[in-house]
Amino acid sequence: MLWGGRFNEELDSNALKFSSSLNADINLIEEDIAGSKAHALMLAKVKLISKEEAKKITAGLDKILKEWKNRSWNPDPEKFEDIHSAIELKLFELIGDTAGKLHTGRSRNDQVATDLRLWIKKACGELTKLAENLQHVLLKIADKNTGTIIPGYTHLQRAQPISLAFHLLAYVEMLERDKKRFKFVKKSANSSPLGSGALAGSTLPLDRNFTSKQLGFETPTANALDSVSDRDFILDFLNACSIGMMHLSRLSEEIIIWSTAEWNFLELGDAFTTGSSLMPQKKNPDLAELIRGKTGKVYGNYIALAAAMKSLPLSYNRDLQEDKEPMFDSYFTYGASLEIMSAMLSSAKFNKERFASELKNDFLLATDLADWLVLKSIPFREAHRIVGEIIKRLEAERKNFGSVSLEFLQSIHPAFDKTVLKCFEINSALKNKKTYGSPNPELAKKEIKEWLKKVR
């Protein structure tokens, strides 16, 4: 143990196993080595170690990373508390007592906090790329379906006609907000805690600006006490992953519904569906269901860390070791879900004609009919009442808009004339939309074109 000088006995083997975080924080190995190399260079700069010693340390660290990547070195969780101690003890094996100089002016508290911020910055960039790839998949499908009419829903009841393109563009918007959240997280993590020590800085002449710049941070953190105990940026990260998974879960739910025999709107590729061990006819959207199911676990990761943080006094407490597993799990789960969703949607075949005839005989154009009356100077509330009466009469006669006549409409209100019949043309419904942000095909095409300029 790196802190064993104070103790007469070694840590109990079961206690070590219980307290080891190596299985989780081994994901920080590249960040830990980068931080240690920057710290060694800084120590040489301020003449706390020699340039030769710094070179020896950095060469040893490079060798450790190389051996880990080629799997010739794999630290044992039953022997090491964490990746940080494993690296330091391995460095002793490689370069001898010079390794002991690396920890000059540094605590594992600021070391870990620095590693976490470096990793979060990298993770945000990777998840943003995956989200952007899914946007591109959605835009490709949307571009081919600006005229594909589907029902739009409120309360899971048919409401107004929209296009498939318009529907998918809503998810493009959600993903853009997800990207903005990760951009915010990346910025919130972009300050270096290195040099904060255990909680109160150092009496040594450490150059925190140097290490901050070396590691690509904007600035050093301002308060050492806060620096080593701050995990807000991880909570922000977990929140961004949670909201991102929520968006994927909503899309998964719709894919599941759309693939049913009742909807019959899309068919997923065989590579992204499963069968039944009993029923030979089944083709199940299991991957979409798994994304939906895993969303709860990602939510739980946020709650787990928020609960661990809620009563912690300043500064560092060992409870903070519990920040890593939820962070890594949310990253891997959300990243994999983005990849699967992109591939799964790319495999999908949409039934473009599914609703073309059916919606002609529905009541989805009721609002358009009310708007027509408004243009005839009838107050909207009155127009709403009139259309409601029309629908009530038609339902009583087991009819729908597909069988409506001008005479029937005029029997309810004299304002109707022959131009009203255009309101019942489902194929013109989208083109009649005038407002920005509506499913008008021309507006949708323009929007897709603008998105494709931004999303690569």
Do residues 85 and 116 share a domain? no
Does residue 16 have a pLDDT over 80?
no
Under the banding of pLDDT at 50, 70 and 90, the label for residue 402 is: confident
Under the banding of pLDDT at 50, 70 and 90, the label for residue 5 is: low
Does residue 158 have a pLDDT over 60?
yes
Distance CA 19, CA 80 (A): 10
Do residues 197 and 317 share a domain? yes
Kindly state the average pLDDT of the residues 52-68: 98
Does residue 6 have a pLDDT over 80?
no
In a domain, 6, yes or no: no
In a domain, 141, yes or no: yes
Which of 80, 104, 128 terminates a domain? The answer is 104
Do residues 223 and 302 share a domain? yes
Active site residue 155: yes
- Predicted pLDDT of residue 426: 87
Active site residue 20: no
Least confident of 39-48, 180-189, 237-246, 433-442: 433-442
Cα dihedral 238, 240, 243, 248, rounded to 10, equals -100
Kindly state the average pLDDT of the residues 48-67: 98
Do residues 324 and 402 share a domain? no
Of residues 351, 395, 320, the one with CA closest to residue 148: 351
Under the banding of pLDDT at 50, 70 and 90, the label for residue 31 is: very high
| Sign of CA pseudo-dihedral 139, 144, 146, 150 | negative
List the catalytic residue out of 72, 155, 277, 377. 155
Do residues 274 and 160 share a domain? yes
Contact assessment for residue 314 and residue 230, using Cβ atoms and an 8 Å cutoff: no
Average pLDDT over all residues of the chain:
95
The model's pLDDT over 187-221, given as tens digits with 9 standing for 90+, comes to 999 999 999 999 999 999 999 999 999 999 999 99
Do residues 54 and 114 share a domain? no
Kindly state the average pLDDT of the residues 2-25: 76
Do residues 202 and 291 share a domain? yes
The model's pLDDT over 85-109, given as tens digits with 9 standing for 90+, comes to 999 999 999 999 999 999 999 999 9
Do residues 214 and 263 share a domain? yes
DSSP string of 1-32?
-TTGGG-SSPPPHHHHHHH--HHHHGGGHHHH
Which of 104, 130, 165 terminates a domain? The answer is 104
Do residues 98 and 129 share a domain? no
What pTM does this model have?
0.94
Under the banding of pLDDT at 50, 70 and 90, the label for residue 356 is: confident
* Range(s) of the domain holding residue 364: 358-454
Distance CA 138, CA 252 (A): 13
Radius of gyration of the chain (CA): 30
Under the banding of pLDDT at 50, 70 and 90, the label for residue 344 is: very high
Do residues 285 and 186 share a domain? yes
- Predicted pLDDT of residue 125: 98
The CATH number covering residue 22 comes to 1.10.275.10
Do residues 49 and 172 share a domain? no
Which of 300, 317, 350 terminates a domain? The answer is 350
Buried b (16+ CB within 10 A) or exposed e, 146-158: bbbbbbeeeeeeb
In a domain, 2, yes or no: no
In a domain, 4, yes or no: no
DSSP string of 441-454?
HHHHHHHHHHHHHH
In a domain, 7, yes or no: no
- Predicted pLDDT of residue 359: 86
299: Cβ contacts below 8 Å, ≥ 6 apart: 242, 245
The CATH number covering residue 275 comes to 1.20.200.10
List the catalytic residue out of 13, 50, 276, 411. 276
| Number of domains present in the structure of the chain | 3
The CATH number covering residue 408 comes to 1.10.40.30
In a domain, 1, yes or no: no
- Predicted pLDDT of residue 280: 87
In a domain, 5, yes or no: no
The model's pLDDT over 63-79, given as tens digits with 9 standing for 90+, comes to 999 999 999 999 998 88
Do residues 396 and 284 share a domain? no
In a domain, 115, yes or no: yes
The model's pLDDT over 224-251, given as tens digits with 9 standing for 90+, comes to 999 999 999 999 999 999 999 999 999 9
- Predicted pLDDT of residue 4: 57
* CA separation, residue 304 to residues 79, 81, 245, 355 (Å): 27, 21, 17, 45
